[in-house]
Amino acid sequence: MNEPTQSNAVMTTPVRFYDGRTSRPYDALMSHVQGTDVLTIQTDAAIHQFALQDGRLRGAIGQTPPAIEFPNEVRIELLNMNLPSWLNDVGQRDSKLNWIKQLWLHKVWQWERSPTWIVASIIFTVLFGFVVVRYGIPAFATQTAYALPEHTLDNLGKQALAQFDESFLKPSHLSVQRQNQLRQDYDHWIKGTPSQNIIFREGGLLGANAFALPDGTIVVTDELVGLSKQDFEILAVLAHETGHLARRHALRQAITGASLGVLMIAITGDSSDLMSSIPTALIGMTYSRGFEREADDYAYQLMTARGIPLHYFSDILVRLEQQHEAKKGDLAKSGFKDYLSTHPPTAERILRFKK
Ligand SMILES: [Zn+2]
């Protein structure tokens, strides 16, 4: 029944018919008497006739067979992917029929089926995906990171800190005087615009560490203060973290991660919310090597400009590296990607500041 039959120059093809009045499909026979410009649809209940030139052909796309549409939402769906040959013939004979000009659309489906086109479209999709992921999303993340309003940054920072406090951090044991003195040193030597807010916490599993949150908060652990032999070493680490803040690294990275999640959701059809996933993305985050280099650049320039000897940064990096080597197991267990040791202070990084 699926193949067109031919008798007395009447061409007949089974179709699915939508009459435009209800959304219900009807099983029907579509027929055409050669030489006329009428298309006849016969259902169990009625016979409908349409002028061929009013029709419009929609080519097959993916798994959807071709269809002919008429005004007033009338739609005739073919039951298989191939256009009946008689319909092609009608189109070829009478170039007045405007839907025949749509015939090429039907070809799209045929191309889709050819191995060359399948391979080509896979290659295209992969390349397109690569460009989107490699360039599109980071560019979007950068734009978004700089465009987010102040109160959103505040909220994101507060949420991330709350999550950190819940999972890793404890109140600092440093005296208020010591905390204030370090804050004053920071304000005097490092402070950038917009201004940052230094807070202190016991790091626990995070050990000697410092990290910046989107609202401009820099968290410094007691352990980092304990590990330093000179306050300038702490300031050097803070200069590096200020660099991360100035370039909005945390936000850019978190938005990138969250966007990839949303992209996956778009593909898999699950639903979620970009903004709500950012604080979580911040927690498990590792900075890219490029971001670390940028933050180092920032610290390098700032320390040079303000006359802070560069070796303070490399001095503490060396000690941080030793400490993180020793504590590696604990950190791995915590599941936390330690900001400062994301990319362990490589010899190259240390060497640069040693000079
Ligand atoms: Zn860093």
Write the pLDDT tens digit of every residue in 106-143: 555 565 667 777 788 888 888 888 888 788 888 888 88
From first CA to last CA, the distance across the chain in angstroms is: 85
d(CA 257, CA 275): 11
d(CA 6, CA 31): 10
**β-pair partners for 56:** 69
Q: Which two tokens stand for residue 151?
A: 């109160």
Q: How far is the CA of 261 from the centre of ligand 1 (A)?
A: 24
Q: How far is the CA of 262 from the centre of ligand 1 (A)?
A: 26
Q: How far is the CA of 72 from the centre of ligand 1 (A)?
A: 63
Q: Which residue has the higher pLDDT, 7 or 282?
A: 282
The amino acid occupying position 9 is: A
Percent of the chain, pLDDT > 90? Answer: 26
Rounded to 10°, the helix 231-246/249-268 angle is 40
SS3 labels along 288-307? CHHHHHHHHHHHHHHHHHCC
Contacts of 94 (CB under 8 A, 6+ apart): 37, 52, 100
Q: Which residue has the higher pLDDT, 131 or 302?
A: 302
d(CA 254, CA 284): 9
Q: How far is the CA of 293 from the centre of ligand 1 (A)?
A: 8
Q: What is the pLDDT of residue 110?
A: 60
Q: Which residue has the higher pLDDT, 83 or 278?
A: 83
Of 165-174, 206-215, 234-243, 343-352, the poorest mean pLDDT is in 343-352
Q: If pLDDT is split at 50, 70 and 90, which confidence band does 286 have?
A: low
Q: Which two tokens stand for residue 322?
A: 């030793």
Q: If pLDDT is split at 50, 70 and 90, which confidence band does 202 have?
A: very high
Q: How far is the CA of 245 from the centre of ligand 1 (A)?
A: 10
Residue with tokens 């009013």: 54
Q: How far is the CA of 129 from the centre of ligand 1 (A)?
A: 29
Of 155-159, 216-220, 240-244, 329-333, the poorest mean pLDDT is in 329-333
Instruction: Give the pLDDT mean for 79-88.
Output: 76
| Residue ranges with CB less than 5 Å from ion ligand 1 | 292, 295
Is 50 exceeded by the pLDDT of residue 316?
A: yes
pLDDT in tens, 17-43: 999 888 889 999 999 888 788 889 999
Buried residues in 183-209 as b, exposed as e (16+ CB within 10 A): bebbeebbbeeeebebebbebbbbbbb
DSSP helix/strand/coil, 27: strand
Q: How far is the CA of 138 from the centre of ligand 1 (A)?
A: 18
Q: How far is the CA of 166 from the centre of ligand 1 (A)?
A: 23
Compute CA 180 distance to the chain's CA centroid, rounded to the nearest angstrom.
Answer: 40
User: Quick one: CA dihedral 81, 86, 89, 95, positive or negative?
Assistant: negative
- The answer to whether the beta carbons of residues 96 and 53 sit under 8 Å apart is yes
- The answer to whether the beta carbons of residues 50 and 74 sit under 8 Å apart is yes
Q: How far is the CA of 242 from the centre of ligand 1 (A)?
A: 9
Residue with tokens 């968290």: 219
Is 60 exceeded by the pLDDT of residue 2?
A: no
Can you give the C-alpha Rg of the chain in angstroms?
33
Q: What is the pLDDT of residue 126?
A: 83
DSSP helix/strand/coil, 345: coil
Is 60 exceeded by the pLDDT of residue 272?
A: no
Is 80 exceeded by the pLDDT of residue 326?
A: no
Q: If pLDDT is split at 50, 70 and 90, which confidence band does 337 have?
A: very low
Domains of the chain by start residue, with CATH: 5-113 (2.30.29.30), 150-354 (no CATH)
Q: How far is the CA of 108 from the centre of ligand 1 (A)?
A: 50
Q: What is the pLDDT of residue 1?
A: 46
Q: How far is the CA of 275 from the centre of ligand 1 (A)?
A: 23
Buried residues in 31-42 as b, exposed as e (16+ CB within 10 A): bbeeeeeebbbb
Most distant CA atoms of the chain, gap in Å: 104
Is 60 exceeded by the pLDDT of residue 100?
A: no
Instruction: Give the pLDDT mean for 302-312.
Output: 93
d(CA 259, CA 144): 11
Q: What is the pLDDT of residue 7?
A: 47
Q: How far is the CA of 134 from the centre of ligand 1 (A)?
A: 21
Spell out the alpha helix ranges (H) of 94-136: 103-113, 115-131
Instruction: Give the pLDDT mean for 172-180.
Output: 95
Q: What is the pLDDT of residue 6?
A: 46
Q: What is the pLDDT of residue 171?
A: 95
Rounded to 10°, the helix 289-305/311-334 angle is 150
